[in-house]
Amino acid sequence: MTPESCPIKTTLSMISGKWKLTIIKELLTYESIRFGELMRAIPNISHKVLTDQLRELEDDGLVVRTDYQENPPRVEYSLTKLGVGMVNIMKEIRRWGLFHLLNNKKNPVRCLKCEQCQNNPYGC
C-alpha cells in the first residue's frame, strides 16, 4: 500500500490541524452555523485561522459554505454528508477521552450523562 492510498493517512490529512476537530464538533452540534457564531463557540481561535481551517475542510469535502448573497452578507457553514460521517470518529474520541478521565486520579469525572452529553447528537 502506498502512502497516498493509506486510509489512516488520508483521514489524518483531512482532520489534521489544531482546530479542525473542534470545528467539526461544533458543526455536528448545529445544522448550520454562521461564521461569527462559530468564532464565539471556539473562543481561542483567531479569525484568520478559522477561515483557513474552514477552507481546508471545504476543500476536503467535509464542510459546505453557503453564501446567501444578501446585504448585509450572510454566510453559513454546515457539514456535508461526508462530514457528518465523522460522527463515529467523534464518538470514539469521546469514548477514549472518557476512559482517560475516569482513570485519571487527578481529574475524576463526576457525571457520565450530564445534560450537555444527552443533548448532543454524538454524546459530548
Q: Is 108 exposed, middle or buried (0-12, 13-18, 19+ CB in 10 A)?
A: exposed
pLDDT digits (tens, 9 = 90+) for 36-91: 999 999 989 999 999 999 999 999 999 999 999 888 888 999 999 999 999 888 88
Instruction: Assess contact for 82 and 62: CB atoms under 8 A.
Output: yes
Terminal alpha carbon distance of the chain: 35
**pLDDT of 50:** 97
pTM for this structure?
0.77
